[in-house]
Amino acid sequence: MPELLSYLTMGLYFGGTFLFLLYLWHRSDVISKISVVATGLGFVSHTSGLIIAMVSTGHVPIMTFKDAMSFFAWGLVLVFLLVGLKRGLEVLGAFILPLAFLSLVSATLAPQSAGSLAPVFQTVWVHVTLSILGTIGFAVAFVAGLMYVMQERLLKSKQFNVLAFKLPPLDFLDSLNQRSILFGFPLLTLGILTGAVSAQLTIGSYLSWNSEQIWALITWFFYFAVLMGRVTAGWRAKKAAYLTIVGFAGVILTFIGILIKSPQPMSPL
């Protein structure tokens, strides 16, 4: 049953991704309606799978790399359904859905055991959940930044094509960018803190200076700087967009690093 649901989810997300990308270049609104339906159905099936897993394990299923990526994808689609549909911005789907779909695919391609967390401490899942939720915030900021850069270039080069017509206004994208970081940053902070506490309780030290921890701290400082820069140095608009794109590239590299370097069960932060 969970297997079937995960394939169904992936299929529906693929359909949604494909149609949303098609929608970017076509004037027809029918395409976006169909893709919203596909995405919605995918989300229902995705949620069902998560609930089934939750009932059987007693917590959010995130203890393997695959589960974590699946949860990440679920959160992204949820954000799209909440923000995109509420604001009538189906175009968000063309950016968020591919990301969600790719996360699911990478989760499937990775070996089942990759990055599995040793359940060294009972509440380690709290730390992971918070970190993933924070990452979702940064992912949305990345999407907003990407859309900002595209819209900015279209406006500067004065190309008033279908894409420019569909992309949201610049100030909306900038504020989505800021809000996403404001959402992600506290969660990442809490994630790191709970990780540190877990580590203290299990191995007796808050920090063991391994590469994942260093990257997590770098990420934390980076987004802290982005938030501060906006207030103090005017790092907004175009600059903020580029920064969040670069920042998220860093986050992805961290993930890949975790995956490649630790085929064995990963130690908690």
Partner 1 sequence: MNIIVLGLNHRTASVELRELLAIQDSRMGEALGRLMAYSGIKEAMYLGTCNRVEVYAVVEKGERGFRQLEDFLVSTHFSLSSEDLLPHLYRYSDDEAIAHLFRVSASLDSMVVGEPQVLGQVKEAYELALTHRSSGVILNKVVKKAISVGKSVRTNTRIGEYAVSVSYAAVELAKKVFSNLKQRVVLLVGAGEMGKLAAQHLVNQGVKEVLITNRNHHRAFSLAERFHGEAVPYEQLRSTLPKVDIVICATGAPHYVITKDDIEMAVYHRMNRPMFLIDITVPRNIDPAVKDVDNAYVFDIDDLKAHVGHNQEERLKEAETAEHMVREEVGSMVAWVRGLEATPTIVALRKKAEEIKQGELEKVFGRLGELSPKERAAIEGLASAIVNKLLHGPVVTLKSEAQSQNGFAFIEAARRFFELREREIHSGEVPLLEDETGDFVSEETLQKKDGV
Q: Which residues bind partner 1 (CB under 8 A)?
A: 151, 155-156, 158, 160, 164, 167-172, 233-239
Question: Closer CB to partner 1, residue 55 or residue 156?
Answer: 156
Question: Closer CB to partner 1, residue 121 or residue 152?
Answer: 152
Q: What angle do CA 174, 215, 237 make, to 5 degrees?
A: 10
Q: Is 59 helix (H, G, I), strand (E, B) or coil?
A: coil
- Beta carbons within 8 Å of 177's beta carbon, 6+ residues apart: 141, 144, 145, 148, 240, 241, 244
CB of 191 to partner 1, least distance (A): 30
Question: Closer CB to partner 1, residue 123 or residue 159?
Answer: 159
Of the candidates 160, 31, 133, 38, the one whose C-alpha atom is nearest the C-alpha of residue 91 is 31
Question: Closer CB to partner 1, residue 87 or residue 261?
Answer: 87
Question: Closer CB to partner 1, residue 46 or residue 236?
Answer: 236
CB of 160 to partner 1, least distance (A): 5
Q: Go through the chain and tell me how many residues it has.
A: 269
CB of 181 to partner 1, least distance (A): 16
Question: Closer CB to partner 1, residue 84 or residue 195?
Answer: 84
What string of DSSP letters covers 173-191? HHHHHHHHHHHHHHHHHHH
Q: Is 41 helix (H, G, I), strand (E, B) or coil?
A: helix
CB of 237 to partner 1, least distance (A): 5
- 188: amino acid identity, one letter: L
CB of 223 to partner 1, least distance (A): 18
Cβ-contact 8, 49 below 8 angstroms: no
CB of 165 to partner 1, least distance (A): 9
Of the candidates 134, 184, 173, the one whose C-alpha atom is nearest the C-alpha of residue 150 is 173
Distances, alpha carbon 226 to alpha carbons 69, 230, 236, in Å? 25, 6, 9
